[in-house]
Amino acid sequence: MTFEELKAFAESTPMLSLALVGLTIALIVTEIARLFRGYKGLRPAELTALINREDPVVVDLSAQADFEKGHIAGSRHAQAAQFGPEHKLVANAKERPVVLVCRSGTSAGTAAAKLKKAGFAKVHVLEGGIAAWQQAELPLVKGRN
């Protein structure tokens, strides 16, 4: 495609061209933000490999009732509102891998940013949360830990 063809397309379909530019900018901004967020997102298969390799501290920030309905084996529960770098589950784990999990992946990201800011070396978040774990057909454990 030549520049002239591209220009003609943009002139004949201004709304579609504007939408394309907007989506492209949104994708670029999202990817740049992901690079600078300080923690690493893990897909379910990557988390499984990390658990098998490095024995990370896995903290589930879901509501207590949701945690009891199903959580990743070996994970520990913490209330998202009360979780931070000084929490007993992670206070002595600054050099160990720490993986934060929630139902959708949203609140875990906020907590991960706090841990990175406090000097934790290996902070991870399960992308998509427990929903992604279930979609990958990986097992959950019911009850309390």
Question: Are 79 and 61 in contact, with CB atoms under 8 Å apart?
Answer: yes
Smallest CA-to-CA distance from 103 within 124, 128, 122, 85 is with 128
Beta strands in the chain (DSSP E): 40-42, 57-60, 76-77, 97-101, 122-126
Question: Are 76 and 1 in contact, with CB atoms under 8 Å apart?
Answer: no
pLDDT at residue 145 in the model = 62
pLDDT digits (tens, 9 = 90+) for 78-95: 998 889 999 999 988 888
More confident residue, 35 or 74: 74
